[in-house]
Amino acid sequence: MTTTVTAVDGQGSTAPAAVAARLTGVTHHFGEASRPPVLDRIDLTVAPGEFVCLLGASGCGKSTLLSLVAGLDQPVSGTVEVPGGRPALMFQEPALYPWLTAAGNVELALRLRGVARAERREEAQRLLTLVRLEGSGPKRVHELSGGMRQRVALARALAQEGDLLLMDEPFAALDAITRDVLHEELTRIWTETGRAVIFVTHNVREAVRLGQRVVLLSSRPGRVAREWSVDIPQPRRIDDPDVSRLSAEITEDLRQEIARHGH
């Protein structure tokens, strides 16, 4: 296997905005190389403004893939191109800073982006309202429930600029109703801002509800096992018959994929 040097920027030949992210032959493993790699020769292209949902069994390397796209880790081989600059990432754990309030966490993202002090407060409040936390701005992180923390983390990710938004199981800790509301908001934000999104989830219905494309990752080694394009027009609802039908189809494939790899 040849090891190529990672290039984060687009290489002259590609126009800067032709893709939001492009992974070419990305292979990654932790520790010794002898074991099957966590990610094995992944090829994945996300078009500008595209909404891609990533499905896969637990431990198949979804979070690893996102941290490679975010530039937090470098792949062992292959290239990751993100021409639009540093993507926004919402981690699987809320990972809020406990020394700041909920609003403070969102404001920090704005501040590091260079937003002027006067606008920060207002913008943070707007984002917290968006995730249905308008009253919780002054609360400390430890005073928030798990689902509230996740929503603050969502507000913080939305506070970052960048043409690409990476989300790692963002709604896993939410009740069904709040999740429905946030699905709607996310769809709306995505349509309005035209950002590309890579959205990791275990929930097939959620993937079909949100994505234009659903990518199934196999485990050990992690490869792109299958892809579906979702041609159901937005706005969709999670209980639309079309969504249910495609979800059932994907679930069947997912079940086979998981059975093939033990558990």
Residues that bind another protein (CB under 8 A): 67, 70-72, 86, 88-89, 91, 93, 95, 97-100, 108-109, 111-113, 125-126, 129-130, 132-133, 140-148, 156, 160, 175, 177-178, 180-181
Site for Mg ion in 70-89 (CB under 5 A): none
Name the CA dihedral angle for 152, 153, 157, 158, rounded to a multiple of 10 degrees. Answer: -20
Could you give the CA distance from residue 250 to residue 226 in angstroms, rounded to a whole number? Answer: 9
> Could you tell me the maximum CA-CA distance found in the chain, to the nearest angstrom?
55
- Gyration radius from the chain CA atoms: 18
Is 218 an interacting residue with respect to Mg ion (CB under 5 A)?
Answer: no
In this complex, which beta carbon is closest to another protein, that of residue 29 or of residue 156? 156
Helix/strand/coil for 96: coil
Query: Helix crossing, 176-193 with 146-159: angle to 10°?
Result: 0
**Count, residues near Mg ion per rule CB under 5 A:** 2
**With CB cut-offs between 5 and 8 Å by kind, which of ligand ATP, another protein, Mg ion, none does residue 55 bind?**
none
In this complex, which beta carbon is closest to Mg ion, that of residue 63 or of residue 101? 63
x-or-dash pattern for ligand ATP, window 32-51, by CB under 6 A?
Answer: ------x-------------
Site for ligand ATP in 47-86 (CB under 6 A): 56, 58-64
Residue count of the chain, please give it: 263
CB 69 within 8 A of CB 80: yes
| Nearest-approach distance from CB 219 to ligand ATP, in angstroms | 8
At residue 46's C-alpha, the angle toward residues 42 and 49, to 5°, is 165
Task: Pick from 92, 125, 160, 251 the residue near ligand ATP by CB under 6 A.
Answer: 92
In this complex, which beta carbon is closest to another protein, that of residue 140 or of residue 245? 140
CB 46 within 8 A of CB 198: yes
Query: What is the layout of strands, in order, in the sheet containing 39-46?
Result: 39-46, 21-28, 77-81
Name the residues that contact Mg ion, by CB under 5 A.
63, 92
